[in-house]
Amino acid sequence: MNSSKRAAHRPILMLLATVCFGLTWMQCGREAGPSADNPVIALVMKTLNHPYFLDMRRGAREAAGNLNIRLVIQAAEREIDVEKQMQIVENMIQRRVSALCIAPSGSREIVPVIVKANRAGIPVLIVDTRVDQEALQEAGGEIAGFVGADNLRGGRMAGEYLVEQLNGQGKVAILEGIPGHETGDSRLSGFHQVIGKHSGIQVLSSQTANWERAQGYTVFQNMLQARPDIEALFACSDMMALGAIEAIAEAGREGSIVVVGFDAASEAREAVRQGRMLATVAQYPYDMGKRVVENAVEVLKGNAIQTDVEVPIELITREVLNAGP
């Protein structure tokens, strides 16, 4: 064949090669897709930019490795990006994953995609943050199980310790989580249940910092400028607490403001050990991730599971850390 004929046939050959490659890719996709013998479990978290959820991912991966099942893990960049999380869940439904494990960014907002998963025959298990039960019931949705901590009790635990350290007298500020978010709301409610019983405790300011360290710094910096008489802070997450202690240090107030956080992230534990934080409430996200994947596998096998699993919580103080291994 001469060079001109070869040149004329080249586009056709390239097209045929592309079509063949596409058919091969689609076939491989079908072969690699979920099946009864080869299930794929998706874990959709709030973010991967937080030590808490990195621990949850480690636990989930361990369970998947032990059980020899495929695990897909995805999350939005920011915890407050509820819409992005819903898009991720919808993509997992379209991929026909075998089961969905979700740590909801929005307790009510997640309900529509749970219903979609139900209609697609994909079981849904919830981890870390409870779904709004009233909204779920109204929508006719259902979940196969929940794994998480008692955030209300954790908030009470933080409140009791702070009141004890202040001897029942003090001016307190609060950094809240995302408004309307079950996790933050429960922690906040538990804290208020305790301090509401002590007339000597005065809440000077309570604002959201949306779980984020940078916002924790900025919001608490503004609080200190408006109310320099603040003596204590309860932050509904360690990331916000860590941001706040940066603002405290910058203001030259270290030692005069006590801080209690929540989640017991490794950096927060070190801050407690160093005396820059008073305490933090520990949850065990590693255990949550591990247990929710294990439960998903049992559900796919048709086995009964404990539908409401409560992981332990613990107050982490310097004394606890010093007494530990």
Give me the DSSP letters along 249-308.
HHTT-TTTSEEEEEE--HHHHHHHHHTSSSEEEE--HHHHHHHHHHHHHHHHTT----SE
Q: How confident is the model at residue 23 (pLDDT cuts 50, 70, 90)?
A: very low
**Does CATH place domain 151-282 in 3.40.1500.10?**
no
Give the Cα separation of 294 and 124 in Å (integer): 13
Quick: pLDDT tens for 198-220.
Answer: 999 999 999 999 999 999 999 99
Hey, which bits of the chain come out as E strands? 40-45, 70-75, 99-102, 124-127, 145-148, 170-176, 201-208, 232-235, 258-263, 279-282, 308-310, 314-317
- Res 2 pLDDT > 60: no
Percent of the chain at pLDDT exceeding 90:
83
Fold identical between 40-149+285-311 and 151-282? yes
Q: How confident is the model at residue 36 (pLDDT cuts 50, 70, 90)?
A: low
For domain 40-149+285-311, the CATH superfamily is Response regulator (3.40.50.2300)
- Res 27 pLDDT > 70: no
Q: What is the DSSP letter of 37?
A: S
Which neighbouring-strand residues pair with 262? 281
- Res 65 pLDDT > 80: yes
Give the Cα separation of 241 and 107 in Å (integer): 23
- Res 73 pLDDT > 90: yes
How many CB atoms are located within 10 Å of the residue 251 CB?
15
Q: Where are the domains of the chain?
A: 40-149+285-311, 151-282
One-letter amino acid of 310 = E
